[in-house]
Structure 1
Amino acid sequence: MRYISKLILPTLLLILLHPSTSLAMLCQGNGGSFTLPRGLAVGADLEDGTIVWESEPLSRKVSCRADAFDPGGLGDQIPISIYVNPKSHKIDGGIEVGMRFGGKIYTRTGEKIPTGVQTEMVCGIDGKPGMCGRHANFTLDFSLVVLKRGVFPPSGMATQVGTYTVFTVDRDTSLSARQLFIPTIYNLQLVRSSACTPTLSLVPDHITFPMVHARDAQRGKVASAVDFNLEISRTCSKDIFSSEAKFTPVTAIDAAGMLVPDDNPSVGISLVRPDHRTTAPLNKWFSLHSGSYREVVRVPFRADLLWRENRPQIGPFSAGVIVEVTHF
């Protein structure tokens, strides 16, 4: 009996040890680092699930490869998934952090989201025809989000975590020890509770351009301009505050920072900050105002209608944007 046990034991050890060195996946790429506005304030009156901050839409290249030989056979494909909050960062209350992918928002720690991507067999690695391995190169489209959720702790701060890894990308069955694609948010420890949320008004509530003549069209020339204001009202608190805003097109496309109506691509609309002599970006947060005690802050804008063609399409058109504001 003693002789048989000496033969069986090493065999068992080999079987147990082999998977631990054969199933590793290495995914890498520039996930990006994102810094929240310093002292981002979340109104206690907001409904749970309200987005209080979201990054611009992101598109990142990801490269994955199997780290070692897989006993399943090199021809087998390995599905690749997203894992939310892979480092299990703790949030005490008031907010939750996650990512938007495929039109949905995911925030649950450890949640696994299929990307729909699988590895493929690639040969000729390092110029050697016999060197083969599983690889996947793809582009991941996503954004990072912070949402209102629950009640802030008595300290008014949601977490002590300053550096928050939002998600990572790995093989379908497990998380590797090495995670090199890690989109990260900074300043989360500075997010604080606020008594109330400012209200936003667009004055006027919609913009109508006067009639222009197509015969005057000249590519790049301003055909007409209309002034409007964004007004931020916060009557429930007299504390100093600043704010950021974001314009997101809904019935138009973003063409190099210009709104182009879906129903007439021969014209474009630029949203201009006349006080700064700059054009407000689209799909990106920008500073709206800083350091004000006033109950109502009025920020001037101008909508410039530009010709995009010398022979434009004749007829009415419409373009819309969603305006979001966050305060701190």
Structure 2
Amino acid sequence: MRYIRKLILPTLLLILLHPSTSFALLCSGNGGTFVLPSGLAIGADLEDGTIAWESETFSRSVSCQPDGTDPGSITDQIPISIYVNPKNHVIDGGIEVGMRFNGKIYTRAGEKIPTGIQTEKVCGIDGIPGMCERRAHFTLDYSIVVIKRGVFPPSGQATQVAAYTVFTVDREKSLSARQMFNPTVYNLQLLRSSACTPTLNIVPDHITFPMVHARDAQRGKVASAVDFNLEISRTCSRDLFTSEAKFTPVTATDAAGMLVPDDNPSVGISLVRADNRTKAPFNKWFNLHSASYREVVRVPFRADLIWREDQPKVGPFNAAVVVELIHY
């Protein structure tokens, strides 16, 4: 009897010591990394909780399947979650890094965010009808955010981490070190603190197009144009600085680089740099001005009202954009 007990006990210990090969979910995706502008500066005067920088919204394809021999039934569904800062990167102060998902921002290390997605039984693996696995294929929409939080260290450098893994995707309870979908921010160690944040003014802050006649409409033709300026003031410092801007539509949508009002899609608005005649994009960062010592930088723009239909809807319309600014 003693001999049998010596054989059984080590077997039980081996099972208890190796659970990870049975419970991990391996997920992979098509990128999702972003390189910050080198030397991105965050004003020390920004209020805590302010979004200092946010990437464009990524829409990435993700595939998940059990990693190893899974003990469950092939019909069991495995819930899939997002885990923030899975590598527990350390930030010394001044900022937080996280993600925006379903309209909410998450920054706390190890925080679990249920996606509402589960694996399903999929057959026909490798072209074999009877070969079945539990898999999930889905699209993940998110953006990466940097938030002002706390005080920067005396060095002005928030972290030494060059490659910051923002989040990963895994199953409900187990984190695998082998995950292949790890959206990452690069150049975070080059982010620095600055004495103050530039002030942005839009002159005029409201644009009113003159009345146009629908009878003159011709698809693609400019119906009217109004000039305006973006003015960047930085009176607290005379250091050399460069800035980028982003136009985000409000009460309107971006249709192939044209701002289309929600209440009248028969017209569109194009924002054009008057100094170089290039069209400004929506939902993407673009260079606003380069290497200036001036206290006030004025960048001229033109808003073109463009017919999108030959028989447009008659009446007033409204569209707006939020203008964001970063400097370095």
Q: TM-score, normalised by structure 2?
A: 0.98
1:168 aligned partner: 168
Contact 2:32-2:58 within 8 A present in 1 as well: no
The answer as to 2:314 corresponding to 1:314 is: yes
Contact 2:58-2:141 within 8 A present in 1 as well: yes
Task: Specify the SS of the correspondent of 2:4.
Answer: helix
Counting matched residue pairs gives 328
Tell me how far apart the structure 2 counterparts of residues 98 and 323 of structure 1 sit (CA, whole Å): 22
Structure 1 gaps of 5+ residues are none
Which amino acid is the alignment partner of residue 94 of structure 2? G
1:151 aligned partner: 151
The answer as to 2:44 corresponding to 1:48 is: no
Give matches, 1:11-160, under 5 Å: 11-17=11-17, 19-160=19-160
Which amino acid is the alignment partner of residue 266 of structure 1? S
1:253-293 CA distance string (max 9 Å, x none): 11111100011000000000121221100001110001111
Following superposition, the deviation at residue 14 of structure 1 comes to 4.6
Give matches, 1:282-321, under 5 Å: 282-321=282-321
1:192 aligned partner: 192
Moved more, 26-35 or 191-200: 26-35
Which amino acid is the alignment partner of residue 7 of structure 2? L
Task: Specify the SS of the correspondent of 1:278.
Answer: coil
Following superposition, the deviation at residue 17 of structure 1 comes to 4.5
1:235 aligned partner: 235
Structure 2 gaps of 5+ residues are none
1:182 aligned partner: 182
1:162-195 CA distance string (max 9 Å, x none): 1111111111111112111111111101111111
Which amino acid is the alignment partner of residue 191 of structure 2? V
The answer as to 2:215 corresponding to 1:215 is: yes
Which amino acid is the alignment partner of residue 325 of structure 2? V
Following superposition, the deviation at residue 298 of structure 1 comes to 0.3
Which amino acid is the alignment partner of residue 185 of structure 1? V
Tell me how far apart the structure 1 counterparts of residues 126 and 6 of structure 2 sit (CA, whole Å): 42
The answer as to 2:220 corresponding to 1:203 is: no
Tell me how far apart the structure 2 counterparts of residues 303 and 8 of structure 1 sit (CA, whole Å): 79
1:253 aligned partner: 253
Tell me how far apart the structure 2 counterparts of residues 209 and 77 of structure 1 sit (CA, whole Å): 56
Following superposition, the deviation at residue 59 of structure 1 comes to 0.5
1:71-111 CA distance string (max 9 Å, x none): 22221110111111111111110011000001000001111
Which amino acid is the alignment partner of residue 165 of structure 1? T
CA RMSD of aligned residues (A): 1.1
Tell me how far apart the structure 2 counterparts of residues 18 and 327 of structure 1 sit (CA, whole Å): 50
Tell me how far apart the structure 2 counterparts of residues 72 and 30 of structure 1 sit (CA, whole Å): 28
Q: TM-score, normalised by structure 1?
A: 0.98
Tell me how far apart the structure 1 counterparts of residues 250 and 143 of structure 2 sit (CA, whole Å): 17
Tell me how far apart the structure 2 counterparts of residues 20 and 159 of structure 1 sit (CA, whole Å): 32
